[in-house]
């Protein structure tokens, strides 16, 4: 195993370099990324990458560069390096259901007279979030869209993420919760090019032109350097606050609240609500999520709440251990799946332990590392990293599943199929693996096999309470998955007819 030794080496590098603490303090102060407070190894690794590119040997020299004449350009590169840009279209289905079913229709009604909507995606990364909103509004307003003035602003600290956002071309990784029909409706396929060796998906111009992007540091909202006066009907600041200290989080949420129009809405990440926010904003419970509105906003249904009810993802029991995953897997979609739950194992799967640090690299740690790489667009690196380690986690269905998703992103369809079948061999109740396998087989024209896989996904999803968030589904609920599976199945049937 390479990872723990590598981690130990990075941690040692941070400890040995006497300039590291000052550089770390400067980076955290500038970006607000308190997240790195206890992650010296990770931060040092990212700093070292930039130092190497700049031909600098230690942190003091690098800090001098940041504070000098070339600092502006280098800060932009470093910020892109250290920010974590995980995002994908329609991330966290419950929140998008609330946007589609409650928030946007209410706003459209409230603004019917002015026909003006101002929306801000703060910390938008590569744009999947504001573009998902554009798609929703396009759908909701239909032909009336031309009579409306809709502004969707995406802002982020990372200039590199914004460049990708403006280009609006994505790999399958960013579209992983969309079914075939949605992909075709909202995107067009693009030919292979460097960075997307198997082609990508370009967002259709009708949605792309609804969004504009600007660079902005969220700390400017609280350090007095932001002087813009714009206010918004809807602000999304999701999965950004997790990186900040609790003091910064409170001040940012308060400042965002001050930018809301009367009867506006603020949506933060599904795991980010905090009872403290009710000092400045009115929490409103919506199915599976919570939103915030200016205090005093009249509410009809549902009533305001003080403590948000967050729907946690179901726990993921491990699958039965087995000797070794062989090169050939049985066809799990040939047999009906057992039940809408994960198989329960008799024995725990050993977690590899680093001889150098004694810190176990849990499947969750490895998965987090892989996702960071993949979300930064480095799917090939993520794939290689997973392959360095996968033998140590041969019984982990989730890792097999991600191996399949990465292979799909890289256009390695045979390997993707093998990995997804591997995940299903380990866990026949793995709904997302059935679904992704169905999409893959349907794309390859293997209709009867695709139908079986999608039927399995559908049956398993229908066996769960509709609001259940599916393991490894990135927030997809059982109801939405069932709807998607039905839609793809209908497409296969229509094509067959
Ligand atoms: C995990 S992504 C979330 C993207 C999107 N909101 C979503 O939920 O899919 C977090 C984003 O926050 C941005 N970010 C981090 N610190 C920031 C700051 N101080 N100001 C503005 N954006 C920041 C990062 O660059 C990154 O793109």
Q: What percent of the chain has pLDDT over 70?
A: 84
Architecture in CATH of 332-496 = Alpha Horseshoe (1.25)
150 vs 477, residue with greater confidence: 150
- Lowest mean pLDDT, pick from 295-299, 316-320, 479-483: 316-320
Q: Is 32 in the pocket of ligand 1 (CB under 6 A)?
A: yes
Write down the pLDDT at residue 492: 83
Q: Does the pLDDT at position 432 exceed 80?
A: yes
pLDDT tens per residue across span 5-32: 566 666 666 778 999 999 999 999 999 9
CATH annotation of 93-294: 3.40.50.150
**Taking the domains of the chain in order of start, what are their residue ranges?**
3-82, 93-294, 332-496
- Lowest mean pLDDT, pick from 294-303, 310-319, 435-444, 451-460: 310-319
Question: Whose Cα sits closest to atom 12 in ligand 1?
Answer: 123
Average the pLDDT over 143-171 and give the result: 96
Q: Does the pLDDT at position 407 exceed 70?
A: yes
* Alpha carbon of 240 to ligand 1 centroid (Å): 5
Write down the pLDDT at residue 343: 30
Write down the pLDDT at residue 236: 98
Write down the pLDDT at residue 93: 86
pLDDT tens per residue across span 380-401: 888 888 888 888 888 889 999 9
Average the pLDDT over 480-492 and give the result: 88
Write down the pLDDT at residue 494: 64
Write down the pLDDT at residue 70: 86
Instruction: Tell which one of 28, 123, 244, 249 to mutate to probe ligand 1, the residue whose CB is within 8 A of the most ligand atoms.
Output: 123
Mean pLDDT of the chain: 83
- The Cα–Cα gap between 416 and 406 comes to 8
User: How would residue 270 be classed by pLDDT, with cut points 50, 70 and 90?
Assistant: confident
195 vs 293, residue with greater confidence: 293
pLDDT tens per residue across span 49-74: 999 999 999 999 999 999 999 899 99
Write down the pLDDT at residue 226: 85
Instruction: Tell which one of 93, 156, 223, 241 to mutate to probe ligand 1, the residue whose CB is within 8 A of the most ligand atoms.
Output: 156
* Alpha carbon of 252 to ligand 1 centroid (Å): 13
pLDDT tens per residue across span 315-364: 222 222 222 222 223 333 333 344 443 332 223 333 333 333 444 568 88
Q: Does the pLDDT at position 101 exceed 70?
A: yes
Question: Whose Cα sits closest to atom 26 in ligand 1?
Answer: 85
Q: Is 270 in the pocket of ligand 1 (CB under 6 A)?
A: no
Looking at ligand 1, which atom is closest to the CA of residue 88? 9
**Count of Cβ atoms closer than 10 Å to residue 144 Cβ:** 11
Q: Is 83 in the pocket of ligand 1 (CB under 6 A)?
A: yes
* Alpha carbon of 121 to ligand 1 centroid (Å): 10
Write down the pLDDT at residue 10: 65
Looking at ligand 1, which atom is closest to the CA of residue 121? 6
* Alpha carbon of 129 to ligand 1 centroid (Å): 11
* Alpha carbon of 261 to ligand 1 centroid (Å): 23
Write down the pLDDT at residue 66: 97
Write down the pLDDT at residue 391: 80
* Alpha carbon of 210 to ligand 1 centroid (Å): 20
Write down the pLDDT at residue 327: 25
196 strand-pairing partners: 193
Instruction: Tell which one of 215, 240, 255 to mutate to probe ligand 1, the residue whose CB is within 8 A of the most ligand atoms.
Output: 240
474 vs 357, residue with greater confidence: 474
Q: Is 87 in the pocket of ligand 1 (CB under 6 A)?
A: yes
* Alpha carbon of 419 to ligand 1 centroid (Å): 31
Looking at ligand 1, which atom is closest to the CA of residue 87? 9
Write down the pLDDT at residue 389: 83
Question: Whose Cα sits closest to atom 13 in ligand 1?
Answer: 123
Q: Does the pLDDT at position 312 exceed 90?
A: no
Looking at ligand 1, which atom is closest to the CA of residue 32? 19
- The Cα–Cα gap between 465 and 484 comes to 16
Instruction: Tell which one of 125, 153, 373 to mutate to probe ligand 1, the residue whose CB is within 8 A of the most ligand atoms.
Output: 125
Write down the pLDDT at residue 348: 31
Write down the pLDDT at residue 224: 84
Query: What is the b/e burial string over 264-284, where b = at least 16 CB atoms within 10 angstroms of the residue's CB?
Result: bbbbbbbebbeeebbebbbbb
Looking at ligand 1, which atom is closest to the CA of residue 161? 27
Give me the sheet containing 169-170, strands edge to edge. Answer: 169-170, 200-203, 187-190
Give the tokens for residue 443. Answer: 């794309």
Write down the pLDDT at residue 6: 60
User: How would residue 497 be classed by pLDDT, with cut points 50, 70 and 90?
Assistant: low
Average the pLDDT over 449-472 and give the result: 92
User: How would residue 241 be classed by pLDDT, with cut points 50, 70 and 90?
Assistant: very high
- Lowest mean pLDDT, pick from 95-104, 163-172, 292-301: 292-301
Q: Does the pLDDT at position 190 exceed 90?
A: yes
Give the CA dihedral 70, 75, 76, 77, nearest 10 degrees.
Answer: 90
* Alpha carbon of 126 to ligand 1 centroid (Å): 9
Average the pLDDT over 205-219 and give the result: 97
SS (H, E, C) the chain: CCHHHHHHHHHHHHHHCCCHHHHHHHHHHHHCCHHHHHCHHHHHHHHHHHHHHCCCCCHHHHHHHHHCCCHHHHHHHHHHHHCCCCCCCCCCHHHHHHHHHHHHHHHHHHCCCCCEEEEEEECCCCCHHHHHHHHHHHHHHHHHHHHCEEEEEEEECCHHHHHHHHHCEECHHHHCCCCHHHHHHHEEEECCECCECCCEEEECHHHHCCEEEEECCHHHHCCCCCCCCCCEEEEEECCCHHHCCHHHHHHHHHHHHHCEEEEEEEEECCCCCCHHHHHCEEEEEECCEEEEEECCCCCCCCCECCCCCCCCCCCCCCCCCCCCCCCCCCCHHHCCCCCCCCCCCCCCCCCCECCCCCCECCHHHHHHHHHHHHHCCCHHHHHHHHHHHHHHHCCCHHHHHHHHHHHHHCCCHHHHHHHHHHHHHHCCCCHHHHHHHHHHHHHCCCHHHHHHHHHHHHHHHHCCCCCCECCCCCCCEHHHHHHHHHHHHHHHHHHHC
Q: Is 217 in the pocket of ligand 1 (CB under 6 A)?
A: yes
Q: What percent of the chain has pLDDT over 90?
A: 57
Q: Is 84 in the pocket of ligand 1 (CB under 6 A)?
A: yes
Write down the pLDDT at residue 308: 33
Q: What is the largest CA-CA distance in the chain?
A: 71
Question: Whose Cα sits closest to atom 27 in ligand 1?
Answer: 125
User: How would residue 77 be classed by pLDDT, with cut points 50, 70 and 90?
Assistant: very high
491 vs 322, residue with greater confidence: 491
* Alpha carbon of 476 to ligand 1 centroid (Å): 21
């Amino acid at each position: 195993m390479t990872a723990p030794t590598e981690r130990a080496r990075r941690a040692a590098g941070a400890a040995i370099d006497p300039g590291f603490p000052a550089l770390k303090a400067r980076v955290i102060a500038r970006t607000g990324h308190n997240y790195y407070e206890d992650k010296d190894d990770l931060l040092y690794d990212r700093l070292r990458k930039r130092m190497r590119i700049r031909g600098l040997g230690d942190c003091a020299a690098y800090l001098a560069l940041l504070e000098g004449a070339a600092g502006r350009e280098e800060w932009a590169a470093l910020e892109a390096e250290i920010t974590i840009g995980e995002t994908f279209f329609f991330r966290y289905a419950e929140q998008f259901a609330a946007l589609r079913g409650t928030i946007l229709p209410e706003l459209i009604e409230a603004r019917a007279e002015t026909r003006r909507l101002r929306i801000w995606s703060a910390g938008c990364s590569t744009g999947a979030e504001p573009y998902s909103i554009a798609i929703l509004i396009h759908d909701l307003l239909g032909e009336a869209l031309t009579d409306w003035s809709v502004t969707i602003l995406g802002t982020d600290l990372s200039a590199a993420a914004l460049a990708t956002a403006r280009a609006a071309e994505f790999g399958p990784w960013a579209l992983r919760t969309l079914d075939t029909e949605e992909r075709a409706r909202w995107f067009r396929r693009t030919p292979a090019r460097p960075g997307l060796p198997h082609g990508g998906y370009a967002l259709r111009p009708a949605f792309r032109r609804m969004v504009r992007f600007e660079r902005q540091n969220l700390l400017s909202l609280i350090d007095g350097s932001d002087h813009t006066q714009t206010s918004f009907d809807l602000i999304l600041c999701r999965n950004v606050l997790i990186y900040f200290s609790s003091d910064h989080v409170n001040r940012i949420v308060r400042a965002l609240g001050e930018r809301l129009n009367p009867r506006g809405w603020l949506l933060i990440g599904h795991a980010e609500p905090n009872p403290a926010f009710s000092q400045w904003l009115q929490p409103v419970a919506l199915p599976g999520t919570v939103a915030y509105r200016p205090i005093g906003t009249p509410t009809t249904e549902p009533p305001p709440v003080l403590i948000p009810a967050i729907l946690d993802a179901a726990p993921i029991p491990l699958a039965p251990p087995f000797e070794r995953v062989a090169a050939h897997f049985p066809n799990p979609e040939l047999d009906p799946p057992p039940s809408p739950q994960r198989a329960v194992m008799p024995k725990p799967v050993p977690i590899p332990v680093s001889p150098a640090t004694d810190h176990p690299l849990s499947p969750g740690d490895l998965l987090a590392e892989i996702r960071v790489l993949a979300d930064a667009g480095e799917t090939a690196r993520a794939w290689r990293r997973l392959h360095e380690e996968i033998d140590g986690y041969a019984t982990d269905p989730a890792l097999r599943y991600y191996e399949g998703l990465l292979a799909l992103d890289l256009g390695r369809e045979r390997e993707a199929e093998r990995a997804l079948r591997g995940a299903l061999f380990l866990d026949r109740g793995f709904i997302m693996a059935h679904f992704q396998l169905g999409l893959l087989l349907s794309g390859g024209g293997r209709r009867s096999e695709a139908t079986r896989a999608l039927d399995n996904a559908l049956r398993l999803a229908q066996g769960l309470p509709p609001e259940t968030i599916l393991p490894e589904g990135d927030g997809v609920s059982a109801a939405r998955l069932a709807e998607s599976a039905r839609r793809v199945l209908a497409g296969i049937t229509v094509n067959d007819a």
